[in-house]
Amino acid sequence: MRAILALFLLFAAPLMAEEVVLGLSKKNVSITANFDGSEILIFGAVKRETPIIEDPPLDVVIAVSGPLQPLTVRRKEKRFGIWVNTESVEIDAAPSFYAVATSAPFREALTDVEDLRHKVSIPRAIRSVGAPYNVQDSAAFTRAVIRIRTENGNYQLRENAVSLDQQTLFRTSIDLPANLTEGDYETRIFLTREGQVVSKFETVIGVRKVGLERWLYTLSRQQPLLYGLLSLFIAVTAGWGASTLFRILRQG
């Protein structure tokens, strides 16, 4: 038994020889009425049991994921001169925001097998169980989600964006768009060697509404009738105020 335990520790030791020590420029992001996006600096170091740096060199892969949400994707086609919905696919869970930054080209930093295991790439971060039998190309719906959210900055793949100095210190920045969803943003850091994960670290960045935004959000969830009446009152008051101002300007 001792011999088996010693052998196990011998093979397990290299897996724990390098670990991530992480830092964040901010652990929480506050969404206010004038929030127009934010930038988070992610930095850290590689902690080693010995000062010897092994070969081949390390790579760093960082993934930041917003809250998962179910999603319905519809296809539109033009029929008789009118655009109508024809087919739809239910996606079980798609991140509201997802960013991947790497110190090398993605496929060099992480093998396909490791990507499948940890679900790091954008397509594998989206969970879709199945599609209706009449939809032949369900994968096209997932690609459409990725394309649209990439265009508006909610999905990002930033290859060679992680600086790795002396195989020890790493840093990168992640741009958060203005249309963030409130919730916990899971942040994962992978150390890889020849595409294989040798160490993994996880933390959470909190994104919360504050001030007036927080109050309105809470009111809309807890007292929807009052929220609706308040919204109607604000709309009527704004309309009346604009009409009065326009009439005064015309008379002047």
Q: Is residue 87 part of a domain?
A: no
Same domain? 52 vs 144: yes
Same domain? 132 vs 101: yes
| Residue found by looking up tokens 């998962």 in the block | 68
Same domain? 147 vs 103: yes
Alpha-carbon span 248 to 243, nearest angstrom: 9
Q: Is residue 185 part of a domain?
A: yes
Q: How confident is the model at residue 216 (pLDDT cuts 50, 70, 90)?
A: low
Same domain? 203 vs 243: no
Q: Is residue 75 part of a domain?
A: no
pLDDT (0 to 100) of residue 9: 43
Give the number of other CB atoms < 10 A from CB of residue 209: 18
Same domain? 140 vs 199: yes
Per residue in 96-135, pLDDT tens? 999 999 999 999 999 999 999 999 999 999 987 665 556 6
Chain Cα centroid distance, residue 104: 20
8 has pLDDT over 50: no
Q: Is residue 74 part of a domain?
A: no
CATH number of domain containing 107: 2.60.40.3880
Q: Is residue 10 part of a domain?
A: no
Length of the chain: 252
Instruction: Give the mean pLDDT of 192-203.
Output: 93
Q: Where would I find the beta strands (DSSP E) of the chain?
A: 18-24, 28-31, 38-48, 58-65, 68-79, 82-95, 98-102, 155-158, 163-165, 169-176, 183-193, 196-209
Q: Is residue 84 part of a domain?
A: no
| Residue found by looking up tokens 């265009």 in the block | 151
Same domain? 102 vs 201: yes
Nearest of 157, 250, 208 to residue 35 by alpha carbon: 208
Same domain? 193 vs 214: no
C-beta separation of 72 from 88 below 8 A: yes
Q: How confident is the model at residue 56 (pLDDT cuts 50, 70, 90)?
A: confident
Same domain? 105 vs 225: no
DSSP 181: P
Same domain? 23 vs 55: yes
3-class secondary structure, 195: coil
Domain region containing 225: 210-252
Residue 2 identity:
R
Alpha-carbon span 188 to 177, nearest angstrom: 19
Verify cis geometry, omega within 30 degrees of 0, for the bond prior to 57. Answer: no
Instruction: Give the mean pLDDT of 73-95.
Output: 76
Alpha-carbon span 122 to 148, nearest angstrom: 13
Rounded (5°) CA angle 175-176-180: 170
Same domain? 141 vs 225: no
Same domain? 158 vs 220: no
Query: Terminus-to-terminus CA distance in the chain, angstroms?
Result: 98
Q: How many domains does the chain have?
A: 2
State the DSSP H helix or E strand holding residue 239, giving kind and residue range, or none if neither: helix 224-251
Alpha-carbon span 129 to 71, nearest angstrom: 12
pLDDT (0 to 100) of residue 132: 58
- pTM of the prediction? 0.73
Verify cis geometry, omega within 30 degrees of 0, for the bond prior to 56. Answer: yes
Q: Is residue 119 part of a domain?
A: yes
pLDDT (0 to 100) of residue 31: 67
pLDDT (0 to 100) of residue 34: 67
Q: Is residue 79 part of a domain?
A: no
Same domain? 202 vs 249: no
